[in-house]
Amino acid sequence: MKLVQFGLMLAAMSSRTILASADDLPLPPLPPWYPLKPWQISSVSTYNPHDSPYSANASGLLLTISNVQSIPAVPAPHGSGGGYAAFKTSTAQCELHWKADALTPYGYSTNSCISDAHPNDYSNAQWQVTLNELHTDLSSPGDYYFSVSFQLSYNATIYATQGYKRMTGSTNFRASTNLEGQCGDDGLCEYNLRNTSSPALLQPTLVECKSACG
């Protein structure tokens, strides 16, 4: 009987030991190029009529955003020196127009971002911008507020291997913090990114990856 009890106790201790060892195992290593460097928003320009309601496309937003980091795309063959072929840095101008009322398209994504990629650029950088939230109660100048999200994807076949990366990030702008501007006598309110807030930094997150992921 004592032998059985000892065996059960030993089994329980072994189980606890195994579980403890599993908890102590290190996490898989992150890629050497991770975390990603912040994206940089170097310019923001927005306009909005003071009075509502008003027609479609009466409000607009123009931003310039850059990915300043070269990101590994696919492993390079040893004959080419090894290492990685990299997706290039990318800058884009993104533009949105909307009618600021109950129908404002929150969550509306658009590919109206024009990047600086050349026709022969294998990186194939594609930017998208989404309007997440808009607050235009201009009775208080500091209440002008909007938030946006960006998506950047790279997709290319290099050395007969497909490389793909998709990254996303969000940020917000407010008249009382990082925007400056005013409402003119013509009823149009215009705001721009403050010089002291340029560039505005936006931390991206890698959400999809194929090849050179770790």
> Is residue 181 a contact partner of residue 192, using CB atoms and an 8 Å limit?
yes
Q: Is residue 83 part of a domain?
A: yes
- Identify whether 6 is part of a domain: no
Tell me the per-residue pLDDT of 102-150, one tens digit each, with 9 for 90 and over. 555 555 556 678 888 776 778 889 999 988 887 766 555 557 788 999 9
User: Does residue 139 lie within any of the structural domains?
Assistant: yes
For residue 73 the two structure tokens come to 């795309």
Strand partners, 71: 87
Supply the pLDDT for residue 128: 92
Give the total number of structural domains in the chain. 1
Give residue 11's Cα distance to chain centre. Answer: 49
CA dist., res. 130 & res. 126, Å (int) = 14
Q: Provide the residue range defining the domain that includes 97.
A: 29-210
Provide the pLDDT for residue 60: 83
Domain for residue 9, yes or no? Answer: no
Asked whether residue 127 is assigned to any structural domain, the reply reads yes
Instruction: Write down the mean pLDDT value for the chain.
Output: 77
d(CA 181, CA 164): 40
23 falls within a domain: no
The owner of tokens 């931390």 is: 203
Check whether 17 has a pLDDT greater than 50: no
- Residue 192's pLDDT is what? 94
DSSP E strands in the chain: the ranges are 39-49, 59-67, 71-75, 84-87, 90-98, 108-110, 113-115, 126-135, 145-158, 161-174, 179-183, 188-193, 200-202, 205-210
